[in-house]
Amino acid sequence: MQASGETTSPPVPVDTAASTALLAWYDAHARRLPWRRLPGEARQEPYRVWLSEVMLQQTTVAAVGPYFAKFLERWPKVQDLAAADDADVMAAWAGLGYYARARNLLACAREVARLGAFPDTEAGLRALPGLGDYTAAAVAAIAFDQRAVVVDANVERVVARLFAIHDPLPGARPAIRVATDRITPDARAGDFAQGMMDLGATVCTVKAPRCLLCPLRPHCAAFAQGAPERLPVKAAKKAKPVRKGRAFWIERAGAVLLVQREGRGMLGGMRALPDDGWSAKGDGSGVPARGEWRSGGVVRHGFTHFDLELQLMLCAAPELASLPAGEWWPVSDIEAAGLPTVFAKAARLALAER
């Protein structure tokens, strides 16, 4: 029963002109991507859709392609990934960034293996570990052809311009989602979502949008107003703090000491060089072993919420009794260790110093 004083909003009609125009454009211009089935082809396997969507979060298509191929070659089914060793998956993910995604990937794969298959509804997908609203909606629409409202950064930009939503991000996101819901069709929701992504990536771009080629131009309020490139409005970025720390290259007999970071937190579960705790304290000073140390230079690396200046310290004759627990990795094969980017940079610097 409706509570006293409440009103029920009427359903928002689907704008069929915009969705029809977008789908016709997608039929002609869809990008061929490793994880995609083109219009008219059979729906893509849920595992491939989910894997690609997790990898694509805050990462470019060009960067994801080789990783996607490598994962499928090594773990062709979700059950294979579920049975994989954590360290192997983290090493294979190295360089892709945002390493919590790799930990969530494993947790989700193991839950899907336990269930026997991916859930085929948006609500069921959202209940899986590590699947937020966007990923659940994308997999539901693309893999299962369920009607779902899929909003990534490209869709966000297209819709903000289409409806001339001038509120700054992130505050504009609820309005953008409502507007996306308005134009999402009941049929071919997966093709529509991918078409919107392609449009944002290739036509409705951040700078210099190619409006004369856009199928939504007749419907676009921002184009009518004369300045689509001004939308969406983004709040001014705050300056990121700078953390300082030290990483230690400890070498003996052609091998370097690597440690495995704790399973949670910054770069959790990854192989790495020993460090001074910068990720937790920002400016630690502990040296992990007694020996003759010298400076190897400074590595600079940007994380989402801070920038890091990491002083590299080199030691070629450590006192073995004082070393932290870890594994000796052949220096000649350091690329195969799967170090996260910041430590891979440090390793390259150390090799240059050698």
User: CATH number for the domain including 174?
Assistant: 1.10.340.30
**Average pLDDT of the segment spanning 310-332:** 81
pLDDT confidence band for 260 (50 / 70 / 90):
confident
E strand or H helix at 10: none
Examine the domain organization and report whether 26 and 157 are in the same domain: yes
Examine the domain organization and report whether 52 and 119 are in the same domain: yes
E strand or H helix at 299: strand 293-302
Domain hosting 296: range is 242-353
Q: Is residue 1 a part of any domain in this protein? A: no
Q: Which residue reads 């009103």 in tokens? A: 7
Examine the domain organization and report whether 264 and 312 are in the same domain: yes
Two tokens, residue 294: 């010298």
pLDDT in tens, 6-38: 333 333 344 789 999 999 999 999 999 999 998
> Mean of the per-residue pLDDT values for the chain?
88
Cis peptide before 10 (omega within 30 of 0): no
pLDDT the model gives residue 3? 39
- The tally of domains found in the chain comes to 2
pLDDT confidence band for 42 (50 / 70 / 90):
confident
Examine the domain organization and report whether 124 and 224 are in the same domain: yes
pLDDT in tens, 282-304: 334 456 666 778 888 999 998 87
- Compute the distance between CA of residue 266 and CA of residue 277 in angstroms, rounded to an integer: 10
- Compute the distance between CA of residue 352 and CA of residue 334 in angstroms, rounded to an integer: 13
Whether 1 shows a pLDDT value over 60: the answer reads: no
Percentage, residues of the chain above pLDDT 70: 90
Examine the domain organization and report whether 69 and 171 are in the same domain: yes
Examine the domain organization and report whether 258 and 226 are in the same domain: no
Whether 279 shows a pLDDT value over 60: the answer reads: no
Whether 338 shows a pLDDT value over 80: the answer reads: yes
pLDDT confidence band for 58 (50 / 70 / 90):
confident
Q: Is residue 156 a part of any domain in this protein? A: yes
pLDDT the model gives residue 320? 64
Among 64-78, 254-268, 337-351, top mean pLDDT goes to 64-78
Q: Is residue 11 a part of any domain in this protein? A: no
Question: Which one, of 149, 140, 155, 133, lies nearest residue 26 by Cα?
Answer: 155
Examine the domain organization and report whether 50 and 179 are in the same domain: yes
pLDDT the model gives residue 204? 98
Examine the domain organization and report whether 126 and 255 are in the same domain: no
pLDDT the model gives residue 8? 36
- Compute the distance between CA of residue 6 and CA of residue 177 in angstroms, rounded to an integer: 23
pLDDT confidence band for 318 (50 / 70 / 90):
low
Q: Is residue 9 a part of any domain in this protein? A: no
Out of 6, 53, 122, 262, the active site residue is: 53
Q: Is residue 4 a part of any domain in this protein? A: no
Q: Is residue 3 a part of any domain in this protein? A: no
List, in sequence order, the alpha helices (H) in 145-202.
153-162, 173-183, 189-202
Which of 167, 195, 230 terminates a domain? The answer is 230
Examine the domain organization and report whether 202 and 261 are in the same domain: no
- Compute the distance between CA of residue 21 and CA of residue 152 in angstroms, rounded to an integer: 20
**CA dihedral sign, ordered 55, 61, 65, 67:** negative
pTM: 0.77
pLDDT the model gives residue 235? 81
Among 51-60, 253-262, 295-304, top mean pLDDT goes to 51-60
Q: Is residue 235 a part of any domain in this protein? A: no
Active site residue 53: yes
Which of the two residues, 100 and 208, has the higher pLDDT score? Answer: 208
Q: Which of 63-67, 273-277, 321-325 has the lowest mean pLDDT?
A: 321-325
